[in-house]
Amino acid sequence: MPPQVEAANSRYIYQPILQSNSIRLLTLFPGTKGTTIQCELQEVSLSNNRPPYCALSYVWGDPSVTAGIRVHCRELQVTTNLQSALQCLRLCDTSRILWIDAICIDQGNLTERNEQIQYMVQIYSLAANVLIWLGNDDSIHHAFNIRLVEKLSEDDYMHLGAAFNDNSWWSRAWVIQEVIHASEV
């Protein structure tokens, strides 16, 4: 089997983080809606010489419902909620650098997960901004469309407020830390 075909059919294997006080950042390559998400990971020091990045705050979603993305041309399974976020965050003409816990931390490595949790405050406070993904729920997207909001009735406002408040993002324990330590949300 040619090397490029073999890589396309194999799963992504994390390389260990070699330096202390380091994290992985995800480079999300440009693409258009519906095309495969392509990205790569790089280890960077939290102390110096890190590129500007955005941290993503979101709900993982159902771990049994996944979709594949490509990391260094190899498949990595992520929840469909995260895949939807990546589709939305992906730019059509330029790469975007992100920190996303489910991808930037090797979730299968308990030692690494425990070490990386110690850096959460730094990760969110050093991010250029924190992006909050509330999901694909149209009622939430409409709540932030100012032109649409101006035309809504009082009942519609109540429905939008309820949809926003009922979003599962609010139920996550990490939300407070992610938002409080963000320089910009």
Q: Tell me the pLDDT tens digit for each residue of 116-131.
A: 999 999 999 999 998 8
Q: Rounded to a whole number, what is the distance in angstroms from the first to the last CA of the chain?
A: 46
CA distance 156 to 2: 57
pLDDT at 48 over 50: yes
- Average pLDDT on 79-85 reads 94
* Torsion on CA atoms 38, 43, 46, 49, rounded to nearest 10: -90
Task: Name the pLDDT band for 4 (thresholds 50, 70, 90).
Answer: very low
CA distance 181 to 185: 10
Task: Decide which of 40 and 177 is more confident.
Answer: 40
Residues with Cβ within 8 Å of residue 119, at least 6 apart in sequence: 21, 23, 46
Task: Decide which of 42 and 8 is more confident.
Answer: 42
CA distance 121 to 167: 24
In this predicted structure, which of 4-18, 58-72, 163-177 has the lowest mean pLDDT?
163-177
